[in-house]
Structure 1
């Protein structure tokens, strides 16, 4: 059984506080770089990729990630990139001012954070959805204090493969 804490939109000062909290309470974070019709990525996206390069742990092309079980589009390339959570990433991740701004065409997509190989926080920018999986009491307090909780629910089944990432450890 898993508990899911669905969040309201995290933006502005709450977003900056969240990024700090997440970087200090996770092992990894993930961004998805998408090239539709093989068009070049935006300068902003390229700069994010370059500025996070030293924190890269793993990159893969399989078009499935936390919140997106599988996607397919002709002539589209996906680069799912995992980074080591490190305070030095704060400045780069704060270049946007909200969770749902992590979406194409200007930015990489769907910021997520991992504890070991399990997704802890996921977002689907274009659908304006995000949540915490199996939140700790500290996690609940953090989001309650900022009035960012939409709902809390339980699922009685194992997490789908999209929320588990092989090759990441605590």
Structure 2
């Protein structure tokens, strides 16, 4: 299911609430080759209590990096503290772009990508066949999705 618009404001918050309800993990991406400002560093510090692990990878949901340095992928638990931070640090799904924030906020359910967000390309999709989840997604007022 493709997200046709950039979820902003309440649409963003509702989508984040659903992602935290459904998924057990979310990721943030830091590309070493792109400038990273103080706000982004502060965010990573704020999320530290929810951190599971950091991996250097050439691939993450929606991206296969061609050459260069690997990115650092930060894996987090979808806990209440992280939810609050993710909902308040920005009001737009596609604003997850360096240098102001880590990139490509995406969610994982049971080891599989659920919400894939490639922020710098303004592309997002949700992968689910669960009828209840599809109903909840389509009920988010203002979220334009294409099945």
Matches within 5 A, 1:70-109: 70-73=65-68, 76=69, 78-94=71-87, 95-109=89-103
The structural deviation recorded for 1:36 is: 1.9
- TM-score (structure 2 length as normaliser): 0.89
* Larger of the two Rg values belongs to structure: 1
Residue from 110, 124, 134 that aligns with 1:140: 134
Residue from 15, 22, 25 that aligns with 2:22: 25
Contact 1:103 1:125 in 2 (8 A): yes
Contact 1:24 1:86 in 2 (8 A): no
Cα distance in structure 2, aligned partners of 1:71 and 1:84: 28
Flag the structure with higher helix content: 2
Cα distance in structure 2, aligned partners of 1:58 and 1:96: 23
Q: Secondary structure at the residue paired with 1:79?
A: strand
Contact 1:20 1:87 in 2 (8 A): no
Unaligned runs of 5+ in 2: none
The structural deviation recorded for 1:135 is: 4.0
Cα distance in structure 1, aligned partners of 2:62 and 2:84: 25
Cα distance in structure 1, aligned partners of 2:96 and 2:134: 23
Cα distance in structure 2, aligned partners of 1:144 and 1:137: 11
Aligned residues: 144
